[in-house]
Amino acid sequence: MTSRLGAYAPSSSVWEELKEELKRAAPSMGIDDIGFASADPFVSLKSILQKHRDKGYESGFEEPDLDKRVTPSLPGTTPASIIAIAVAYPSKMSNPPKSEPGKYRGIMARSAWGRDYHHVLREAMAKLEAFIRERVPDAVLESMVDTGALVDRAVSQRAGIGFSAKNCAIISPKYGSWIYLGEMVTSIPFPPDSPVTEDCGECTKCIDACPTGALVGPGQLNAQRCVSFLTQTKGFLDEEVMRKIGNRLYGCDTCQIVCPKNKGLNWTQHEELQPDPEKAKPLLLPILDMSNREFKETFGDTSAAWRGRKPIQRNAVIALGNFKDASAVPKLSEVLLKDPRPELRGTAAWALGRIGGEEALNNLEKGMKSEQDHKVRNMLTQALNKLQPETKAVAETEKQEGVQHSSQQSEEAGQDVQSPGTSSVNIAPKGVEPMAAPTIESDVLYYNEVHTPIGTLTVVASDLGLCLIEFGTFTVKEAVLQQWSRTWAGGVGYERNEERLADVTSQIKQYFEGTLKEFTIPLDMRGTQFQLQVWEALKEIPYGEICSYKDIADAIERPKAVRAVGGANNKNPVPIIVPCHRVIGMDGTLVGYGGGLEIKRSLLTLEGYLPDRKGL
């Protein structure tokens, strides 16, 4: 079919035929989904964008002219329609390399895993344009990929690609939010497609999981706080942000990972978008030695390269600090003392302060003597303030020896003394409430992930013992973990440490294998006075047995506090180890469980206790 626009334009049925032809041909052009929309201005969008700007939520990368962002245009003619396209990209990596002590790795967002999507989309759009011009030679077409004036999400939503989600992504009913978007403004009056009517419903998982609280409301993003945006900036970052960046080198996928609409979705049909594991999860230390040329050779074909090497190198320094990689101290010291870029020197000072040790302290002191930049000096001062108390280690050791001597005397006198590494719950005499566990100041909490038949568990420990277990991966539960830290640990950050949690991991695996029925893991439980009392009673429920909330209330001599016992049971920070799953309703129902009733049922089945009662 060949048509021409003009005074004697074809009927609408001709454009409908061309539209259907384009939809059939789209896969051959590398396009996974294609939609059509009117080119009318996005009138209501302008006020939304203005409010966004007034609140200071813009990233600064957007088109500054709001009229251009909401008004489709074409040179020399009036636009008649817009074509939106989507290309799906992978969300999973086969055999991803793992971080190891001395060989820690960063992570790129999935949008930067394969070949730069701008090139992939432009090539697809070029094929689409050529296809149209063969059939409509005088058509006026203008393609945009990410860098155009129009708002991609608004166009895609109007064209029926997907709906605008609470995490500000477009979610396709078929592909989820793992899609790149592009659009083409045309002079052809294509009939429009219908928008997707699906939505997020009551789900707020993305908002709850956002590491920095950048999702300030449904569909509202404060880009200035977004980790994805912050990893692409070139300046200094503050303490809170650097801790929350973790080992991210470019971008952030948290809000997409936790989205139920993305569950199980992974797209492998585009070979050029598949990840190179060594680029997607690169070793951190080699990044710091890269010249501009080497950076371009390594990452130049990915979308992560558009801002140059400085942000990536700064983020690599942050990651090494968050990993507390002692083997990185010489390289970080070199950056601190020799790198010409203040942002890198200041970040290296922060990382050395996180890692600690005599070598780090000595180099921070050297840096203070020679540093002239006031921002770097401020970061040096903060790092030194953290580490200088380490010089008093001998005095602290002597003090601790004195405490231990006093403890020995108390034990000889028959007093109840808590030994290091045991539960922080004080077991009070019967009928007397124990004191609430204090918020113990520490520099970091350690975590690891354990893969079990009921899913992945994130286990967290302090220097005293295990203090938290969450159902789900660290990434999924990041926001919950941060809130717990703010409430019970002074807001300290988390460091993955498999070695410290090896015994916890081993005992949990043995439990699920059916070879271990009683845990011997040191605990550091933190809660209110009443909660601690309830949790202590929970620990007394034997393997394979159950009791009711009323039984627990009676055990702690609070017979009228059944509801409060249920609430404390629900707040148990170390499920499975402290077996709150063994508590059921008086009528035999399973009642609530933090991990969900299916997990509770699985645990009771594993332990061989499933009475033939209602709800089981």
Task: Please report, for the chain, the start and end positions of each structural domain, with discontinuous segments joined by +.
Answer: 12-203, 206-291+305-391, 444-606
pLDDT at 9 (0 to 100): 57
Report the catalytic residues: 580
pLDDT value, residue 413: 28
The CB density around residue 65, as the number of other CB atoms within 10 Å, is: 10
How does residue 303 score in pLDDT terms, banded at 50, 70 and 90? very high
Q: For the segment 168-215, what is each residue's pLDDT rounded down to a tens digit?
A: 999 999 999 999 999 999 999 999 999 998 889 989 989 988 988 899
Helix (H, G, I), strand (E, B) or coil at 460: strand
pLDDT grade for 1, boundaries at 50, 70 and 90:
low
Indicate the pLDDT class of residue 167, thresholds 50, 70 and 90. very high
186 CB burial (10 A radius; 0-12, 13-18, 19+) = buried
| pLDDT averaged over every residue in the chain | 86
Give the pLDDT confidence score for residue 156 in this predicted structure: 95
CATH number attached to the domain at 206-291+305-391? 1.25.10
**Tally of residues, the chain:** 616
Tokens of 175: 């592909």
Note the pLDDT of residue 332. Answer: 97
**pLDDT over threshold 60, residue 564:** yes
Task: Flag whether pLDDT at 98 surpasses 80.
Answer: yes
- What CATH class is the domain 444-606? mainly alpha
What per-residue confidence (pLDDT) applies to 2? 61
What are the tens digits of pLDDT across the range 134-163? 999 999 999 988 777 899 999 999 999 999
Contact 520, 507 (CB under 8 A): yes
Write out pLDDT tens, residues 577-607.
999 999 988 777 777 787 788 898 899 999 9
Closest CA to 124 of 167, 88, 96: 88
* Adjacent-strand bridge partners of 185: 82, 142
Structure token digits, residue 542: 């034997």
- At residue 123 the predicted structure's pLDDT band, cuts being 50, 70 and 90, is very high
pLDDT beyond 80 at 440:
no
Q: What percent of the chain has pLDDT over 70?
A: 88
* More reliable by pLDDT, 423 or 370: 370
C-alpha distance from residue 59 to each of 45, 107, 233 (Å): 17, 22, 10
Q: What is the pLDDT of residue 327?
A: 93
- Tell me the average pLDDT across 48-53: 90
- Determine the Cα–Cα distance for residues 171 and 495; give it in Å rounded to an integer: 32
Q: Tens of pLDDT along 29-39?
A: 999 999 999 99
pLDDT digits (tens, 9 = 90+) for 462-480: 988 999 999 988 877 887 8
* Each residue's pLDDT tens digit, 402-435: 333 333 333 222 322 232 233 333 333 333 333 3
Query: What is the C-alpha radius of gyration for the chain, rounded to an integer number of angstroms?
Result: 29
Residue 439 has pLDDT above 50, yes or no: no
Q: In this predicted structure, which of 34-48, 307-321, 576-590 has the lowest mean pLDDT? A: 576-590
